[in-house]
Structure 1
Amino acid sequence: MDSLINNLVTQVRAGNQEAFEGLVEIYKDKIYRLCYRMVGDSHEAEDLAQEAFVRAYVNIDKYSGSYKFSTWLYRIATNLCIDKLRKKKPDYSMDAEIPGTEGATLYSQVAGAAPLPEEEVEEKEKRDHLQQEIMKLPEKYRTAILLKYVEDLSLEEISSVMDLPVPTVKTRIHRGREALKKVYKKVAKSR
């Protein structure tokens, strides 16, 4: 796969736009998924993923090849998401009560899927809760957790994406996991 990627990058540098379409096809789902998990909004994630590919295309000559193309692309997408999160100010809360209702929240207004067996519902609630808790983590821990456990990148790849030494990456993953453990311990005690 690496030789295919390198071949496509070489073709893009030579002016072959179709080769870049091949790169987009290979990475579009992964980049979108990363952006979605970082910003939590599908429309923003689509825009950010598209912007990441535009920047990669425009700056393809800056890709040195000293590490994987995917690492370089993840770095572009991660930086775009972090910039977006820093600029974004929360304008509403899904937990806030909707004015004029008796306790209804935005969460309660989200359309539900067809009824599922109880176990599947519980599993989905756990995944949703985990995603919400990940979104509450400081961005430096959230990014490390997502790259490690969702995108399944190695510590070295995460180090390149985040432009940090591997020991710092390990620390951020550890602290992110510890923060998530604390939340789940509180939930377990309250039940």
Structure 2
Amino acid sequence: MNQLDTRLAKLARSGDRAAFAELVELYKDKIYHLAYRMLHNRHEAEEIVQETFLRVYTNLDRYDEQQKFSTWIYRIGTNLCIDRLRKRKINYSLDAEMSDGEGSDWYSALPSREETPDNQVVLSETQEQIRESIKTLPEKYRAVVILRYLQDLSLQEISDVLSMPVTTIKTRLHRGREFLRKKLESVL
């Protein structure tokens, strides 16, 4: 995928609209899910996707082919989301609906080994507590948690996206998990 991205970016830079359209197809859903999970608002997530691709298109000449295209586009999308959050100064959540349209969220998509209705109610209540606790995470921890656990990026990729050392990413991930653990211990 990395070589394909780079090749498409080169073609798009030289004016190939079809190549840019392919990049959009490859990344529009990924950027949408990232934005929706960070902003928890469909309309804003759609705006972020559009703005991300507008910035990609207008800045293709600045793309460094030595780095992964995915890192570059995730950095653009993440920074746009962080800017939007700073402007509105409210929390965001990870309980975004998934693209399958069935109203399920990331937590309810986790497979459960419990089959009884009682256990399902307990699980649902626990998931709600987790969602509520994640909403209270400080912004600097939320971004790292979202990129690591929902976008499944490696520590190095998160470091590249957020332009921070891997050691800082590890620290923020650890502190974010500690924050959640303490918060959940008090409510569960």
**How high is the TM-score relative to the length of structure 2?**
0.80
CA distance in 1 between counterparts of 2:160 and 2:54 reads 20
Deviation at 1:167, TM superposition (A): 0.2
| 1:68-94 alpha-carbon deviations (Å, 9 max, x no partner) | 11111111011111111111045xxxx
Q: Is the 8 A contact 1:38 1:135 kept in 2?
A: no
- For structure 2, the residue ranges without an aligned partner over 5 or more in a row are 91-102, 104-115
Matched, 1:42 2:42: yes
Matched, 1:151 2:139: no
Deviation at 1:137, TM superposition (A): 1.2
- For structure 1, the residue ranges without an aligned partner over 5 or more in a row are 91-112
| Residue 180 (structure 1) aligns with | 180
CA distance in 2 between counterparts of 1:29 and 1:126 reads 28
| 1:128-169 alpha-carbon deviations (Å, 9 max, x no partner) | 443332232111100101111111111111001111001000
Matched, 1:163 2:163: yes
Q: Is the 8 A contact 1:40 1:135 kept in 2?
A: no
Q: Please, which moves more after superposition, 74-83 or 122-131?
A: 122-131
- The DSSP-based 3-state class of the residue aligned with 2:65 is coil
Q: 1:169 to 1:19 in 2, by over 3 A?
A: same
Q: Is the 8 A contact 1:71 1:160 kept in 2?
A: yes
CA distance in 2 between counterparts of 1:69 and 1:125 reads 39
Alignment of 1:51-66 (within 5 A): 51-66=51-66
User: How big is the alpha-carbon RMSD for the aligned residues of Structure 1 and Structure 2?
Assistant: 1.8
| Residue 82 (structure 1) aligns with | 82
Matched, 1:73 2:73: yes
CA distance in 1 between counterparts of 2:18 and 2:166 reads 36
Aligned length: 163
Aligned amino acid, residue 25 of structure 1? E
**How high is the TM-score relative to the length of structure 1?**
0.78
Q: Is the 8 A contact 1:8 1:22 kept in 2?
A: yes
- The DSSP-based 3-state class of the residue aligned with 1:164 is coil
Q: 1:180 to 1:9 in 2, by over 3 A?
A: same
Q: Please, which moves more after superposition, 132-141 or 170-179?
A: 132-141
Aligned amino acid, residue 59 of structure 1? N
